[in-house]
Every structure is written in C-alpha cells, then in structure tokens.
Amino acid sequence: MLSVALRHAFPGFTLDAGFEAPAGLTALFGQSGSGKTTVVNAVAGLLRPQSGRIAVGDTVLTDSGRGIFLPPHRRGIGYVFQEARLFPHLTVRQNLLYGHWFTGRGRQPDLPRVVEMLGIGPLLPRRPAALSGGERQRVALGRAILSHPRMLLMDEPLAALDQPRKEEILPYLERLRDHAGLPILYVSHSPAEVARLATTVVLLDRGRVTAAGPVAAMLSDPAIAPLLGLSETGAILAARVEAQEADGLTRLSTPSGPLFLPRVKADVGAMLRLRILAQDVMIATAAPQGISALNVVPVQVRDLTPTGDGVLVRLDAGDQVILSRITARSAAALNLRPGLAVHAVLKAVSVAPGTIGVSAG
Amino acid sequence: MGDWLTPDAWQAVRLSLTVSLWAVAASLPLGILVAYALARWRFPGHGLLNGLVHLPLVLPPVVTGYLLLLTFGRRGWVGQWLDQVGIVLAFRWTGAALAAAVMAFPLMVRAIRLSIEAVDPRLEQAASTLGAPRVWVFLTVTLPLILPGILAGAILAFAKAMGEFGATITFVSNIPGQTQTLPSAIYAFLQVPGGEGAAARLVLIAIAIAMAALFLSEWLSRLVARRIRGL
C-alpha cells in the first residue's frame, strides 16, 4: 500500500494531492499539466516536495515534518519512463541486470522468468539502438522488475508508441499486474488504458485529487465517468456461465436475467465480469418486437445526468447498475424520469479483459 | 635521426613530451571534476569558476607565467610552503609541467564538459532509481559514455601543452635539459646565427604533433556522439 500526501508550489501551479494506492494497478489519471508526473517523481525521489509524506507499507520514503528524504537509489522503487531510457552503451542483458547488481545482495536474479514473461529472449545480446520502440519499452519494464523493487511506477509507458506497439505491450502489463504481486502506480491520460489496466483510479485535476476509488465504481459513476472519457463510460456486471449453446452462443446468467454472447471461452459455472459501454445501450419504453439485438433487459431508471452532448442514464437492473448514454432529445421524447420501468437494449457486451476491476492480490 | 636533430634539439623534444604527458595526466582528474561541476551542478560561484578556468585562454601567457611565479616561486605563498616539504617548481621541468597544465586546462575542461552535456541526465536518473548510488551512476553510466570525450580533451590539452611557450619561459625560464621545451628550443635556435635549419626541423615536428592530435581528437569526438546515440 502506497500512501501519498504532497504539497509543492511551482510558479503558477500548486500541487496539493493525497491518495492511497492499494495492491493492484492504480491509475493516476488527468490531463497534461495536472501534476501526474510530479507526483510520480516525488514518489521515486527525483523531486523533493516542499512538504508532504510518502510511505510504502511501513517504510517512510519522504516525511518533510521529520526531515526524512530517502535518495532514489535507496527507495527500492522501479520506474518505467515514457521513453525507455535504456543505457545505450550496454547490451539488453546488461541493461536488465543493471539494477540487480546494486540491489541483489546475494539473491539470484529472476532473469529467465522475466525474459520469458516479456518475450525478450532473442534481444538479450543486442544494443538498445537496434530495438524497436515496443521492444525497448519491454526491456525497460524488465529492467525495473529485476531491480527487486517494492513497487513499480510507470509514467505513460505507452504514450510514445503507435497503436500496434501498444497492443503488443498491454498483455505484458496485464500479466505483470496479475502475477507479479507488485503494486503499480500508472500515470495515464488515456481512458482506454485506464479502463483496461486499472484496478483503482485516482483522478488528478490541476494539482488536486478530485476523485479516487475502484475502477468499476469510477467508470459507472455518472458524476465521475465523463471525466475519464465518455467513450469508456460503462458498467461492469457480474455474470455466471450457464451453457454453451449449439448455435455458437454462450448463455450467461445475471441478477437481471439471461444474456447471450458469441462463444465465450470459459467453463460452465465460471464467473465473469462483463463490460457494457454506455454508448452501446439503447432504451425502449415498451418491450421491443422484431429486433436483432439478443439482449434486452427490463430495468428501472434511477437518475439522469446531463453530460456535454447528451444524457447519461443510470438504470437499476436487479442489484446492479447499467449505464446508457442517449441524446437529450431522446430523453425528452421518451419522457424518462426516475422510477420509470423501461427496457435496456444491449447492442454489445464484452467480457472484461483480464481481471479488470479485481485486485491483483 | 641523430644526424637530423642535434642532441640539444632532441633533448627538447623529449622534454616537451615528458612535460606535456605529466601536465595532462596530473590535471585530468581535476579537469573531469571541474567539467562535471560546470555541466551538472548549480552552485554559488558557478560563473566565477567558469571564468577562472577560462582565464588562461584569454590572458597574455606572460601574465599567467608571472602569476605562477608569484604563487609557486620559492617566495610565493604556495611555493614557500611547498619548499618546506621539499617540492620546488620554479626553474624545474615540474614547473614547466604546471605551466603547461594551467594553459591547457581550459581546452581540456571545454571538451569534457561538452561531452558531459551531451549525456541525457535522465539516463542518470534512471540509474539512480535502479539502486545505483551517485558515484556508481557516474562510474557506470556517465563515465563510459563520455570516455571518448575525455580522450579528445586530453589529446587537445596535450597538443596545447606541447606548444606552450609564454607562461613556461616566464615561470621556469629556458634552461637546456631542464626547462627548454620544444618551443623554447625553437626560440633559442632563432636567436643564434645559422640556427634556422635546426629551428625549421623542430617546427616540422611541432606541426606534425599538432595535426595528429587535432585529427585524433576530432575522430574521438565523433565516436562519443555515436556512442551516446547507441550505434
């Protein structure tokens, strides 16, 4: 568990942020200039805050009140930078083992496992200049893991990469989150990355924390979700695999009734988390007839929240919540109001990748 | 070779090589430290240190030599103290090495400082987050990356030391076999009738050494740039 409380004034900008990051991946989300990198640099010890306290578990890294400021090399915090910052004069293998050399203390480096997890075996004898951007970032990840850190910091590690390279690295980040057991503080301004990777989200706006909590709650809270990006706003639903049907569909049961998805690779009885984006949910006041959508769920309107160009409608489905994003004109035409019984038409339902919303521990 | 150069001239060449090698070798660690401080640290007196280092480049060499004499001469405030522990610099080859080192110092520091500034400080930050203490960051990241720059600075300083004349002759005079370096020997040959031939041969040697040093230093500078880009 990382706990952070910081105050640091720059000309024209004051950072005043406090939050806690539990096990799993905590996304520090905000626009550029919101102070994300400053927070991460303070945690790493690359910036000495004017006042504040930073601790990982029982270890105090910074405490201005008691005059404590551990230098970066004694913090045991792995840092993956936006640009990989590999040492150009060393081979990939030497880069990977650099931190171990200082922090190993008789321990064996876990090189084979990390190399396998990141798929960088063939790169070991090469120099960083001979690597692609995605390869470099994977090596930087491995280098940080092999320095025996107590936690990892990642400052937009994918920002400098194009989409195919991002797709190449995301699975490794998911594996790391789920299997390495290291708390990760992950800076991002990409809602898609946050939705895919985070277990906890901390929202930062102009140097202040405006909201923090588990990712599912944050993405389905109409007051917060728009800040994360409307296209990623959506609900997360728990579901159980009931049967694999002959026509290629998988039948799932949810507290609000059965749902059908194209073949889901999971055993009958398995519990899944489904992700339903608000923009994929239509609302019908009467049970729709002659419609191609398979999944229509009876729900009740809980509340309506105006967003930039539309209305975000929160729908109660049993004890779970489904979000729908519709236009203000539709909301008025259907005369939607809290308490109204309607039908939610789900245009698309996806299985949440990895263990989204579930703590890695 | 013996016929081509008189024993006196030959001795001057050898003395110049010895003086220059010692001047560079002894001032290199300080040169690296000063270059690092100027490139990486912000401290009060930064500008003053920078000015002081560059002073020998712009002062008349005779002034530098005279200041050395005042400071390191047997009656000088440092020289007096050195005299008591048995070190005499004035009118000795060691003094010539000191004069050469002082005169070559700005060139050496400039070359090393440029190569340090070309190293991305973010690499050094990365090393520290991986657990490397500051000294080790310097030894394992900064130093390997600037090594060609250091060599280039040393070579340039060596060439400058080989050619040093004004400060040397003011501080340690022109004593054959003791303080008569290559430029002093050329000067001495030109003072006597019929010495032009010997002087011309020494001039050729001086040009050859200077050119070789410049080419070598240029080549090494390119190497440091390639290395930092990781090629």
What residues does each domain of chain A span? 2-219, 234-351
Contact criterion met (CB < 8 Å) for A102 and B129 = no
Residue A106: count other Cβ atoms within 10 Å of its Cβ: 4
| Complete edge-to-edge strand list for the sheet that includes strand A310-317 | A281-284, A341-346, A295-307, A310-317, A320-326
**pLDDT of amino acid A302:** 92
pTM, whole model, 2 decimals? 0.80
Mean pLDDT of chain B: 90
Considering only the beta carbons, identify the residue of B127, B140, B229 that sits closest to A88: B229
Q: A66 to each of A42, A63, A341, B56, how far by Cα in Å?
A: 16, 6, 58, 48
Contact criterion met (CB < 8 Å) for A147 and B131 = yes
**pLDDT of amino acid A355:** 39
Q: How many angstroms separate the first and last alpha carbons of chain A? A: 12
What is the DSSP secondary-structure string of A242-307?
A: EEE-TTSEEEEEETTEEEEEE-----TT-EEEEEEEGGGEEEESS---S-S-SEEEEEEEEEEEEE
The predicted-structure confidence for A234-267, as pLDDT tens digits, reads as follows 887 878 899 988 888 899 988 878 889 888 888 8
A252 Cα distance to chain centroid: 25
Contact criterion met (CB < 8 Å) for B129 and A89 = no
Q: Which residues of chain A have pLDDT under 50?
A: 354-361
Backbone angles phi, psi at A205, to 5 degrees: -140, 120
Written as one letter, the residue type at A342 is: V
Kindly tell me the number of DSSP H helices and DSSP E strands found in chain A: 9, 21
A250/A266 Cα distance (integer angstroms): 9
The predicted-structure confidence for B147-187, as pLDDT tens digits, reads as follows 888 998 999 999 999 999 999 999 999 988 889 999 999 99
What's chain A's length in residues?
361
Decide if B157 contacts A103 (C-beta within 8 A). no
Comparing CA positions, the residue from A218, A236, A309, A319 lying closest to residue A273 is: A236
Contact criterion met (CB < 8 Å) for B122 and A44 = no
Residue A107: count other Cβ atoms within 10 Å of its Cβ: 9
Contact criterion met (CB < 8 Å) for B129 and A103 = no
Q: What angle do CA A52, A3, A150 make, to 5 degrees?
A: 115
What percentage of chain B reaches a pLDDT higher than 70?
97
Contact criterion met (CB < 8 Å) for A46 and B231 = no
Closest Cα in chain A to B227: A89
Stretch B95-122: mean pLDDT = 94
Considering only the beta carbons, identify the residue of A73, A83, A127 that sits closest to B131: A73
CATH of domain A234-351: 2.40.50.100
What's chain B's length in residues?
231
Written as one letter, the residue type at A130 is: A
Contacts A–B by Cβ distance under 8 A: 76
Decide if A324 contacts A280 (C-beta within 8 A). no
Closest Cα in chain A to B229: A88
Considering only the beta carbons, identify the residue of A73, A88, A144 that sits closest to B230: A88
Closest Cα in chain A to B144: A89
All structural domains of chain B, each given as residue ranges with its CATH number in brackets, are 7-228 (1.10.3720.10)
| Token pair 């401290």: residue | B43
Q: Are strands A68-69 and A281-284 parallel, antiparallel or unpaired?
A: unpaired
- The H or E element containing residue A59 is strand A59-63
Give the residue numbers in A contacting B (CB under 8 Å), as ranges: 44-46, 71-79, 81, 83, 85, 87-89, 98-99, 102-103, 127-129, 143-144, 147-148
A161/B229 Cα distance (integer angstroms): 19
The predicted-structure confidence for A92-144, as pLDDT tens digits, reads as follows 999 999 999 998 877 887 899 889 888 899 999 999 999 988 899 999 999 99
| 3-class secondary structure, B101 | helix
Q: B208 to each of A263, B82, B151, B159, B214, how far by Cα in Å?
A: 81, 37, 19, 10, 10
Decide if A81 contacts B130 (C-beta within 8 A). no
Contact criterion met (CB < 8 Å) for A144 and B130 = yes
Comparing CA positions, the residue from A230, A343, A349 lying closest to residue A283 is: A343
Considering only the beta carbons, identify the residue of A74, A76, A89 that sits closest to B144: A89
Closest Cα in chain B to A89: B230
Give the residue numbers in B contacting A (CB under 8 Å), as ranges: 120, 122-123, 125-134, 136-137, 140-141, 144-145, 227-231
Half-sphere exposure of B223 (CA within 13 A, CB side): 15
Closest Cα in chain B to A96: B130
Written as one letter, the residue type at A47 is: L
- The H or E element containing residue A28 is strand A25-29
CATH of A2-219, one of 2.60.120.1360, 3.40.50.720, 3.30.300.160, 3.40.50.300: 3.40.50.300
B15/B185 Cα distance (integer angstroms): 11
Mutation target to probe the B interface, by most B beta carbons within 10 A, among A86, A102, A139 is: A102
The predicted-structure confidence for B43-72, as pLDDT tens digits, reads as follows 999 999 999 999 999 999 999 999 999 999
B184/B173 Cα distance (integer angstroms): 9
Contact criterion met (CB < 8 Å) for B132 and A73 = yes
A320/A302 Cα distance (integer angstroms): 11
| 3-class secondary structure, B68 | helix
Sign of the dihedral through C-alpha B138, B142, B145, B150: negative
